[in-house]
Amino acid sequence: MTHLTPMTMGQQFGRRSWAEPWKIKMVEPIRLLDRAGRERAIAEAGYNTFLLRSEDVYIDLLTDSGTNAMSDRQWAGMMLGDEAYAGSRNFYHLEAAVQKHYGYKYLVPTHQGRGAEHLISKALIKPGDVIPGNMYFTTTRLHQELAGGTFVDVIIDEAHDPANLHPFKGNVDLGKLEDLIKRVGPEKIPYVSLAGTVNMAGGQPVSMANVKALRSLCDRYGVRIYLDATRLAENAWFIQQREEGYRDKPIAAIVKEFCSYTDGAWMSAKKDHLANIGGWLAMNHEDLYETARNLVVIYEGLHTYGGMAGRDMEALAIGIEEALQDDYMSARIGQVHYLGELLSDWNIPIVKPVGGHAVFLDAKAIYAHIPQDRFPAQTLAAQLYLDSGIRSMERGVVSAGRDPVTGEHRYPKLELVRLTIPRRVYTQAHMDVVAEAVKAVYDEREKVRGLRMVYEPKYLRFFQARFEPL
Ligand code: F0G
């Protein structure tokens, strides 16, 4: 018997709507504070949405990280936690799931993605090294810098333009990469840091053709490729939908093929893998495995738990299987695109095409009158909370931080606010409310002046910086 998916049902009955392939069995009440309460909360938070109490938030689109709803099977798996210090049964289940679906030989578990970033950066980067990548990610780049390396952006130019409709805006510009390899020499490049999809570009995918071509280029120079696989399953959906020859391939097969062109990957399992905590580093080369397996016991925990409880590893192993189901992924990205379409219909400037995990508001376009050193995206995130209790995240100059050499702000071309959709958490009605709130803030855009930073921590400042309205 074949099961009808929302898409095949649409073909069969001439219906166009789709729905999530799950139903809700437990709910968590949320509430909307009144205007005075929201004013007080955001002022106490220094106009930084990271510093709000979650209780004071109505719809929480800060991040899709660790905010997923687990399935009944995952919760059942939590009861099967083998809480042994060493050699937990759940570790072997997780190892088998990663080997089966990502295809790498060795697995080192970590407490979350940045734990894995720390290990790979420490193991492979020497002071003076250069790490090319398809746009920076905050924690990834910081670990590369702390290990003595310098990140160099080699993403295609289209990625820096919010209005450019390139279907694979996450692609590596192979010309930029080859010039860099020739300029600094391949021995200075410990690996290419490839992300699928690219978070800071708006959740934009990398094509299979691009990773294949990247593999041949890197083989010519003997350079390795390590993948940030955090949202690779979502990347696979875009390949399936947009790339010639993949329309009938399952997401799972696309993920496995993609990984086959890389030497290993790190993972924040708090995203694609539908868990609330967890991560891993996986690789084919034994030298990296040896080093990482040794380093993990210093920074994370034994090499068979890496900072996770047995039950977390079990939930994660089950989550991997669920994340790679085609009907799940169509609904997941379908919901993100539903929100994107509502905003587009009202001509609100967003990053296009809409990516996999979030809709990104173009704060530079919305607040064209606020200069970037008055933090337009930070301002927009605060305004959205004030209007509606919806929490979003700045992804602009605050996130980009300061240049470690000059100490100046790094001014990224993209000054964005991310409306990040947690997996399996909110309904279409929540998306309608969000779109209407964004519209209300957009309509009042002329009245807003920007923010001044009054406290700035040294590392990853966006998490804890404080601001005051101008
Ligand atoms: N790589 C990517 C692409 C990420 O988006 C993140 C986290 C990490 C690595 C680090 O993983 O949080 O498990 O340590 N991104 C979150 C976000 C924080 O909101 O986008 P982590």
Q: Residue 166, exposed/middle/buried by CB under 10 A (0-12, 13-18, 19+)?
A: middle
| Structure confidence by residue, pLDDT tens digits, 401-433 | 999 999 999 999 999 999 999 999 999 999 999
CA atoms within 13 A on the CB side of 419: 30
SS3 for 127? coil
For the Cβ of 63 lying below 6 angstroms from any atom of ligand 1, the answer is: yes
Residue 14: per-residue pLDDT: 66
Every domain of the chain with CATH number 3.40.640.10 lies at 72-323
Q: What is the residue-wise DSSP string for 393-454?
A: EEESHHHH-B-TTT-PBP--S--EEEEE--TT---HHHHHHHHHHHHHHHHTGGG---EEEE
Which of 274, 292, 252, 237 is closest to 105 using CA atoms?
A: 292
Beta pairing partners, 306? none
Tell me, using a 6 A CB cutoff, whether residue 383 lines ligand 1.
no
pLDDT digits (tens, 9 = 90+) for 106-163: 999 999 999 999 999 999 999 999 999 999 999 999 999 999 999 999 999 999 999 9
CA–CA separation, 93 and 242 (whole Å) = 33
Residue % of the chain over a pLDDT of 70: 97
Our answer on whether the CB atom of 204 is closer than 6 Å to any ligand 1 atom is no
Which pLDDT band holds residue 2 (cuts at 50, 70, 90)? low
At 442, list the tokens.
């957009």
Residue in 47, 91, 137, 246 annotated catalytic: 137
Average pLDDT of the residues in 177-203: 97
Q: Is the pLDDT of residue 11 over 90?
A: no
From 3.90.1150.10, 3.20.20.70, 3.40.50.150, 3.40.50.1000, which CATH number describes the 6-60+326-469 domain?
A: 3.90.1150.10
Mean pLDDT of 226-248: 98
Check if 271 is active-site: yes
Alpha-carbon radius of gyration of the chain: 22
> How confident is the prediction for the chain on average, in pLDDT?
96
Tell me how far apart the alpha carbons of residues 170 and 263 are, in angstroms, rounded to a whole number. Answer: 19
Please tell me the distance from the alpha carbon of residue 6 to that of residue 32, in angstroms, as a whole number. Answer: 33
Percent of the chain residues past pLDDT 90, beyond the cut:
96
Q: What is the per-residue pLDDT across 61-113, written as a single tens digit (0 to 9) for each? A: 999 999 999 999 999 999 999 999 999 999 999 999 999 999 999 999 999 99
For residue 7, the model assigns a pLDDT of: 53
Instruction: State the distance from the centre of ligand 1 to the C-alpha of 2, rounded, in angstroms.
Output: 37
Angstrom distance (rounded) from CA 60 to CA 28:
13
The rounded Å distance from CA 65 to ligand 1 centre is 7
Question: Which atom of ligand 1 approaches the CA of 115 most closely?
Answer: 14
Q: Which protein residue's CA is at the shortest distance from atom 2 of ligand 1?
A: 230
- pLDDT score of 16: 73
What CATH number labels 72-323? Answer: 3.40.640.10
* Secondary structure of residue 167 in the 3-state scheme: coil
Give residue-wise pLDDT tens across range 307-320: 999 999 999 999 99
Please tell me the predicted confidence (pLDDT) of residue 1. 47
Query: Is the CB of 372 within 6 Å of ligand 1?
Result: no
Edge-to-edge, what's the strand order for the sheet holding 279-283?
106-110, 279-283, 264-268, 225-228, 192-195, 130-133, 150-153
List phi, psi (to 5°) of 195.
-110, 135
Mutate to test the pocket of ligand 1, among 117, 121, 139, 194 (most ligand atoms within 8 A of CB): 139
For the chain, give every residue range classified as CATH 3.90.1150.10: 6-60+326-469
Grade residue 17 by pLDDT with cuts at 50, 70 and 90.
confident
**β pairing state of 225-228 and 192-195:** parallel
